[in-house]
């Protein structure tokens, strides 16, 4: 959903994350970053909310980088606290 945030649907719930206000430099790889973080959350047995939070933070950190440059862990963790999740 890009600048409109993100939705996560499961059998049990629907979660929405508001977009974090940032300076977008490139959207290349943003979806890949989100999916990769989601896979990590599943692999680490994180809750669905924490997995969604990590995926949002990862995607957000990615779009602050030029081109296909990936963010580092510190940059991703910086955004975790800013992710606002609402149940729908």
Residues labelled catalytic = 32
Alpha carbon distances (Å) from 14 to 29, 41, 48, 64, 78: 24, 17, 11, 27, 25
**DSSP string for residues in 2-21:** GGG-EEEE-SS-EEEEPPP-
* Enclosing H/E stretch for 67: none
């Amino acid at each position: 959903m890009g600048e409109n945030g993100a939705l996560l649907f499961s059998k049990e719930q629907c979660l929405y994350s508001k977009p974090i206000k940032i300076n977008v430099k490139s959207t290349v790889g943003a979806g890949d970053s989100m999916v990769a973080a989601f896979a990590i959350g599943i692999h680490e047995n994180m809750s669905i909310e924490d997995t969604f939070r990590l995926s949002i933070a990862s995607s957000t950190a990615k779009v602050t980088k030029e081109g296909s440059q990936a963010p580092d862990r510190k940059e991703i963790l910086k955004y975790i606290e800013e992710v606002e999740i609402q149940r729908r």
